[in-house]
Amino acid sequence: MPTRPYVIEPMISAKAIAARVEALAREIHDEFAGTDKLIVVGLLRGSFVFIADLVRELDLPVEVDFIEASSYGNAMESSREVRILKDLRGEIQGRDVLVVEDIVDTGHTLRHVVGLLKARGPRKLRTIALLDKPSRREVDISADWIGFEIPDEFVVGYGIDFAQRNRNLDHIGKVRFTGEEG
């Protein structure tokens, strides 16, 4: 994994995340109270820790499914192409769906996934993202719930990676490069 040397500086503590997840779960509970049709859909891979903590705070009958998307920059058209690498296992028609994302950055991924899933006719579809970088947005979309709004920093931990590493950090940290490549 050739990469420039870097350090990870703490940004959001495990304790702060846990408190926020608990508060978010209460709001989600109120939004979906009484339903027996809820499917929580995690976007792989970055949401896997968040979704695990979130569903354990949710006192509702819940199913869990996953979808994996990847987005590629297209420098020529200054656009991004989002591809589905792994689709849901289950049907969502007539169901209540909560899409769980790690970070909303440019917004292309979430917009694409929401469009795709809405076309399948869910009864209700809501979105939640642990982190939001509004200053990076390229398309007009926002999640219904946000854990934390953050500045334009590259972050890792709590499921979120840099070159596939650091997903296992229990908190969110920002990457600071300390030298040159090589």
Contact between 25 and ligand IMP by CB under 6 A: the answer reads no
Could you give phi then psi for residue 178, rounded to 5 degrees? -115, 0
Q: Select from ligand IMP, Mg ion, none the partner in contact with residue 55, using the beta carbon and a kind-dependent cut-off of 5 to 8 Å.
A: none
**Contacts of Mg ion in 33-52 (CB under 5 A):** 46
- 171 three-state secondary structure: coil
Sign of CA dihedral 158, 171, 98, 80: negative
Concerning whether 105 is annotated as a catalytic residue, the answer is yes
Q: Tell me whether residue 32 or residue 67 sits nearer to Mg ion (CB atom).
A: 67
Minimum distance of ligand IMP from residue 119's CB (angstroms): 19
Does residue 132 contact residue 114 with C-beta atoms inside 8 Å?
no
Q: Is 115 helix (H, G, I), strand (E, B) or coil?
A: helix
Q: Which of 35, 57, 154, 171 binds ligand IMP (CB under 6 A)?
A: 154
Between 17 and 131, whose beta carbon lies closer to Mg ion?
A: 131
Our finding on whether 157 is near ligand IMP (CB under 6 A) is no
* Nearest Cα to Cα of residue 176 among 156, 159, 160, 158: 156
Active-site residue numbers? 105
